[in-house]
Amino acid sequence: MSGLGGLNKSAHGVVVGLVQLQLPSVKTPADLAAQTQRICEMVGKARRNQSTMDLVVFPEYALHGLSMDMNPEIMCTLDGPEVAAFKNACIAHRIWGCFSIMEANPGGNPYNSGLIIDDQGAIRLYYRKLHPWVPVEPWEPGNLGIPVCDGPNGSRLSLIICHDGMFPEMAREAAYKGADIILRTAGYTAPIRHAWKITNQANAFCNLAYTASVCLSGSDGSFDSMGEGMFCNFDGTVLAEGGGRADEIITAELRPDLVREARTGWGVENNIYQLYHRGYVAVKGGAQDCPYTYMHDMAAGTYSLPWSAEVKVTDGTSCGFAAPERTYEGTTQ
């Protein structure tokens, strides 16, 4: 169900717009200010485009482009002018927004961060990308976990960023915390097209959740992003999807109430419940254990693949980054 892209909004519907934003080139503070203004103008376009829209979602790298530039002069902070402008745009146009920033980090490399801001200008969700796209991306690994927030019209929202969505554990964690709409923002280019689609569908089906995912679009003269915003139903089918046209806004009405109905009412393929209640036909309540070796090993700090010693790419030197000397310090902000 997409309600003709949200044109026919139901009482329980949440209308989401995915902006296939033109890939920018941002090198200077002036470029950053101009791109900030452009994103704010696109918030206005989203509102004019559809009066029923509740949430407008911008891709990863919407503000900074794909250069991987860590220049401190173009890094952002939560209390900086860029985030303030996004807050004001959400207030002015009476809409929720999801935005991407490269966040200054005094203790190391910048974070690749995402924000969900409500229609009153309050930050409702703040996330740092857990899985930078190594070896290409230099960003510090996120340390805020996978947050979930209350969203418009009774929804529960989470945000994962680009490469995060290739790990089934990410969407599972979001759903485990109650998310019924999982946003995925990205800057992916065409070689990832097939993996993008199947993981968006699998993340939805395996967790009985909607997925709403969008990439940048167009070229900056060096890179070509693919656009291809897509909504997946909680049964894994595609509700709506876009092509590669830059600045197109793909829309759909999502129904969190139907997600809740499926999660409590489905017997067959209620996978997120059955993970911990396997074989409940045979044994009361199912086997409530953890039979997965990798989970035990991660928790114990002993995760090791049978081929770990043979893995050839283990830092960013192949992409021009110096091998790091710091070790990860955990959840310190």
Residues 3-274, CATH architecture: 4-Layer Sandwich (3.60)
Distances in whole angstroms, Cα of residue 324 to Cα of each of 102, 134, 140, 330: 19, 13, 11, 16
Closest listed residue to residue 116, CA positions, set 204, 46, 55, 32: 55
Q: Does the pLDDT of residue 286 top 90, yes or no?
A: yes
Per mean pLDDT, which range of 2-16, 123-137, 138-152, 156-170 is the poorest?
2-16
Mean pLDDT of 101-121: 97
**What is the reported pLDDT for 4?**
86
Catalytic residue chosen out of the listed positions 90, 149, 162, 215: 162
- 129 is known as an active-site residue: yes
The H or E element that residue 232 is part of is: strand 230-232
- 284 is known as an active-site residue: no
Mean pLDDT of 226-252: 96
Rg of the chain over all Cα atoms, to the nearest angstrom: 20
The domains of the chain are located at: 3-274
For residue range 22-55, what is the model confidence (pLDDT) as tens digits?
999 999 999 999 999 999 999 999 999 999 999 9
Q: Does the pLDDT of residue 1 top 70, yes or no?
A: no
Catalytic residue chosen out of the listed positions 60, 137, 140, 173: 60
**What is the reported pLDDT for 166?**
98
Catalytic residue chosen out of the listed positions 82, 87, 103, 129: 129
Query: Residue 237 is encoded by which pair of tokens?
Result: 């089918």
Mean pLDDT of the chain: 96
Q: Does the pLDDT of residue 331 top 80, yes or no?
A: no
